[in-house]
Amino acid sequence: MLNERLLANLYIAFEAVVANKLRSLLTALGIIFGVAAVIAMLAIGNGAQQEILEQIKLVGVNNIVVAPIVEQVEEDVDENSSLDREKGKFSPGLKLQDVDAILTTIPGVKKISPEIVFDTYIVKSGLRRSAKLVGVTPSYFDVLDFRLREGRMFSEKNLVKGDAVCIIGRSVQSKFFPKENPIGKKIKSGNQWLEVIGILEERVVTESSISKLGIRDFNMDVYIPIQTMLVRYKNRDLVTSSALMSGNNQSSSSNYHQIDKLVVQVEESELLNPTAEVISKLLQRRHFNVVDFEITIPELLLKQQQRTQNIFNIVLGAIAGISLLVGGIGIMNIMLASVMERIKEIGLRLSLGAKKSDIVNQFLFEAVMISVSGGIIGVILGVVLAHMVSTFAEFPTIITMPSIILSFGVAATVGLVFGIAPARRAASQDPITSLRYE
């Protein structure tokens, strides 16, 4: 019996909503835009969060990056300039000896990876393409979380003797070995033939990550043992004849650093800042107080960006929540106006035996129907907006089921909460007075 009364009240509420389609739609606009805003903002926020996490994976976890500072001096520098006065200061630059000093002196250092990058070209079967030749140690692949697809890592013999072996990126394999297994084959890099002993798993790198983090497309890199780089390609630590003739091994217009980057991985995130300070002091002492290097902590920078993004998401969510609140107030106002318009109808139902609970249920059902239908339209609009942002603004968006459930649930709750006052007002009408109302 109770279920039948509820179904009857639901049917009456449905008829009232359908009979006033335009008014119901205008009443639901606040809910529609509020729900759409919540879904779109959460999708943008989730996309930004995911992008930051991917960037953290690219630069590695708990890493400190030490990079050399290379000053380019113009040829027509004035003789009395401050740059000329700096020529008297000597620094050996970043060297492999610095790697050993950091590893043996500073506690808390888990791994350390020196890197030398050489711009060259790759040649095979008449196909030639520019590429990066990267001299590394095996710890490089652990620090940056690179995984082998096929083959093996550098052996101790390869590292000590500087063997002509290499590990190639996935794009190098697809371009130069499209129909054959490259393991054991040779590829010419610069003026040296290198034997391929391994292939790396593909690393997806977005254009924004390349520009923001200053990283390369790892898939087109060729990796060789760092000793192979020093013996067969370039070693800036060697004293050249031109340097002897000039009386200075550090030409102001050239890079005198032996290595191009040094990545230090610490054991705990809490040790990042103190370890970076100790590394800075150690290198300053070893470089005779010449600060020709810079130290950055990518993970902390990205986490700061993540905190800023979280605050931004909270602000946007609050704005969207205010929109839902305004939509709820709109529902309450329209439902109160609807009560005044339908006083005769209410009096007629009460006089025919309807209970006050039936009147309450009828108007509550109307409010919830308007808010739920607005929520459904808002979900669709929010998904469309998120896809439009992803397509036209080229910004990653991620729509999750919890965000849809949250926004839809809030919409239904708003209709229920803001429909209580009009429903009670309708139920409190006196039947005789209502029938006489004009």
Q: pLDDT confidence of 224, banded at 50, 70, 90?
A: very high
Q: What is the full DSSP assignment across 86-149?
A: GGG-----S-HHHHHHHHHHSTTEEEEEEEEEEEEEEEETTEEEEEEEEEE-THHHHHTT--EE
Mean pLDDT value across residues 96-114:
89
- Per-domain boundaries in the chain: 2-55+304-436, 60-297
The structure tokens listed for 381 are 């609009």
Q: Is beta strand 192-200 parallel, antiparallel or unpaired with respect to 165-168?
A: parallel
- Tell me how crowded residue 291 is: count the other CB atoms within 10 A of its CB: 12
Higher pLDDT, 433 or 345: 345
Q: pLDDT confidence of 80, banded at 50, 70, 90?
A: very low
Q: What pLDDT is attached to residue 183?
A: 93
Is residue 86 over pLDDT 50? no
First to last CA, the chain: 34
Beta carbons of 324 and 34 less than 8 angstroms apart:
yes
Looking at residue 366, the DSSP 8-state letter turns out to be H
- Tell me how crowded residue 409 is: count the other CB atoms within 10 A of its CB: 11
Beta carbons of 328 and 30 less than 8 angstroms apart:
yes
Is residue 251 over pLDDT 50? no
Mean pLDDT value across residues 120-132:
87
**Which residue's structure tokens are 């993004």?**
309
Beta carbons of 65 and 298 less than 8 angstroms apart:
yes
pLDDT averaged over the chain? 78
Beta carbons of 415 and 371 less than 8 angstroms apart:
yes
Q: Looking at the DSSP assignment, which residues form a beta bridge with residue 296?
A: 65
Q: What is the full DSSP assignment across 262-319?
A: EEEEESSGGGHHHHHHHHHHHHHHHTTT---EEEE-HHHHHHHHHHHHHHHHHHHHHH
Return the CA Rg of the chain. 35
The structure tokens listed for 59 are 């630069």
Q: Is beta strand 127-136 parallel, antiparallel or unpaired with respect to 221-225?
A: parallel
Q: What pLDDT is attached to residue 2?
A: 55
**Which residue's structure tokens are 């995984």?**
147
CA dist 268 to 64, 110, 231, 357, Å? 12, 9, 35, 62
Q: What is the pLDDT of residues 317-334, one digit of tens each?
A: 777 777 777 777 777 777
Looking at residue 232, the DSSP 8-state letter turns out to be I
Contacts of 85 (CB under 8 A, 6+ apart): none
Q: What pLDDT is attached to residue 357?
A: 76
How far is Cα 183 from Cα 108, in angstroms, rounded to an integer? 37
Is residue 11 over pLDDT 70? yes
148: left (phi over 0), alpha (psi -120 to 50) or beta: beta
Q: What pLDDT is attached to residue 85?
A: 37
